[in-house]
Amino acid sequence: MNFFRGFSLNTTCTFLVFSLGFVNSVLLADQLGPEHYGTLKLWTALVMLGVLFLGEWLSKGNIYLVGREREREAAINHTLLYCLVLGALLLLTAPFSLALAKVFVPSITLVQWVLGVCLIAFIALQRAGFSVLLGEDRLKPYALLPVVFIAIYLGGNLVLSQLGHLELERVMGVWVGAVGTTALAAFVPFLYRGFRLRWGGRRALGQMLRVGSRGEVCLVLIFLMLKSDLFLIERFLGEEEVGVYGVATNFTDMMQRVANIASVILLAKIVRGQDDTRLSLGVAQGIFVFSLLSAVVLIFGGRQLLGVFFPLYLNAYAPLVWLLPGMLFLGCGAVFNAKLMGEGYPSMTLWAPGIALAANLALNLLLIPKLGLRGAALSTSLAYALWGVLTASYYLRLNRLGWRAVFAPPAFGRAQNPPAKKPLSV
């Protein structure tokens, strides 16, 4: 499947996922209230941080091993064995690691943490399974499984709501069930073919670790750049303000999802040797146009959208507006970063998010006490812009292009299926 067919399919499915997810967010924000909704947002960030630290090397390593080396069976074997061991260890150590989790979410309970470690293991398995599908360029199941996930998650929460039992721990239980179901479903096509669980070999594991570890460090830094402000808001302003800020990021997350779709599909094409500079540059230009149009809509219509969907969170408009300038840079940066990741994770894929994260932390520490949520949004927006500019500058220099090329008419229409070329060595 070429880039644009894959992008269209994934965009359609993602729009459906976002629509159902938005309904889910409205339901949870209204019935949990700002404080518990804020706690859920912190939980989401904490779980994803755990997944990135403990399982992202699997995801990025699988894309390389399956897409470049055609070692699907070894990738699946290592994934299943690792996630079984990871889940067991997390459950056994849950009472002891609870103290560490309380540093990030002070109101956490043991039951919530047990559910949280189950989420970490299942999401690691889910992402690793999706990466196998992506490495094989099987974009249809890759696009459809997230729809299954959000349908289960939303459906379970609606049932809880009708029964009058929509509480934080029950919501997390539904989340565990939805992730677990789709994680196992990702492997069903492979297991159905007579697959046997066994050791995949040291060579394959070494390749996964070598490539995946670079991808993990890169993604952890980017994630902290994106979400560290939530924990600082909780520290300075409390969990209720995290809930308000979380509503603002519901809208910006929608903008970023389209960029993420393009980046993931582009990464799969790069790893399989099916990209040239025209395609990645054209995709980045298209994402910039989409982000700009979305920002204009949210600036002029954001208050009305909040009034309709989140009437308890009207004060989320100010941080939303301050986040939007950074989103223009974030989308383009994600596309350029995918190109660099597919070509062997040069040092800038680590330096750029590291510098932006340091700037984000420093600015948040300075501005949140003075400006509240507006200070958090301004700090984060500046960090996004810094990361986008650093990543784009390196990409342009690497490809001997100037900034004028970014603002030229999009070129992706001339490079849907460029001649295959071998990616840079990793």
**Over the chain, what HEC string results?**
CCHHHHHHHHHHHHHHHHHHHHHHHHHHHHHHHHHHHHHHHHHHHHHHHHHHHHHHHHHHHHHHHHHCCCCHHHHHHHHHHHHHHHHHHHHHHHHHHHHHHHHHCCCCCHHHHHHHHHHHHHHHHHHHHHHHHHHCCCHHHHHHHHHHHHHHHHHHHHHHHHHCCCCHHHHHHHHHHHHHHHHHHHHHHHHCCCCCCCCCCHHHHHHHHHHHHHHHHHHHHHHHHHHHHHHHHHHHHCHHHHHHHHHHHHHHHHHHHHHHHHHHHHHHHHHCCCCCHHHHHHHHHHHHHHHHHHHHHHHHHHHHHHHHHCHHHHHHHHHHHHHHHHHHHHHHHHHHHHHHHHCCCCCHHHHHHHHHHHHHHHHHHHHHHHHCHHHHHHHHHHHHHHHHHHHHHHHHHHCCCCHHHHHCCCCHHHCCCCCCCCCCCC
Q: Can you tell me which residue has the tokens 């308890």?
A: 312
Contacts of residue 334, defined as CB under 8 A and 6 or more positions apart, other chains included, come to 256, 259, 260, 262, 263, 287
- Above 80 in pLDDT, residue 114? yes
Question: Does residue 423 lie in a domain region?
Answer: no
Six-digit token string for 167:
């509480």
Question: Does residue 421 lie in a domain region?
Answer: no
Question: Does residue 417 lie in a domain region?
Answer: no
- Above 90 in pLDDT, residue 265? no
Contacts of residue 36, defined as CB under 8 A and 6 or more positions apart, other chains included, come to 168, 239, 243
Q: What number is the average pLDDT over the span 259-279?
A: 72
Question: Does residue 323 lie in a domain region?
Answer: yes
Q: Are 200 and 170 in contact (CB under 8 A)?
A: no
Provide the residue range defining the domain that includes 296. 3-412
Distance CA 173, CA 176 (A): 5
Question: Does residue 332 lie in a domain region?
Answer: yes
Contacts of residue 161, defined as CB under 8 A and 6 or more positions apart, other chains included, come to 27, 31
Question: Does residue 422 lie in a domain region?
Answer: no
Distance CA 284, CA 277 (A): 11
The whole-number pLDDT of residue 419 equals: 39
- Above 60 in pLDDT, residue 420? no
Question: Does residue 419 lie in a domain region?
Answer: no
Six-digit token string for 38:
């804020």
The whole-number pLDDT of residue 158 equals: 95
**pLDDT band per the 50, 70, 90 thresholds, residue 410:** low
Query: Which carries the bigger pLDDT value, residue 297 or residue 102?
Result: 297
- Above 50 in pLDDT, residue 297? yes
The whole-number pLDDT of residue 416 equals: 40
pLDDT, tens digit, for every residue of 5-60? 666 777 788 788 888 988 999 999 999 888 888 888 888 888 988 898 888 888 87
The whole-number pLDDT of residue 110 equals: 87
- Above 60 in pLDDT, residue 411? no
**pLDDT band per the 50, 70, 90 thresholds, residue 272:** low
- Above 50 in pLDDT, residue 421? no
Distance CA 106, CA 240 (A): 13
Q: What number is the average pLDDT over the span 226-236?
A: 90
The whole-number pLDDT of residue 330 equals: 92
Q: Picking from 154-158, 259-263, 295-299, 341-345, which range would have the lowest pLDDT averaged per residue?
A: 341-345
Q: Can you tell me which residue has the tokens 């991808």?
A: 215
Question: Does residue 420 lie in a domain region?
Answer: no
Percent of the chain, pLDDT > 70?
88
CA distances 282 to 278, 289, 335, 391, Å, are 6, 11, 10, 16
Number of domains in the chain: 1
Q: What number is the average pLDDT over the span 215-230?
A: 86
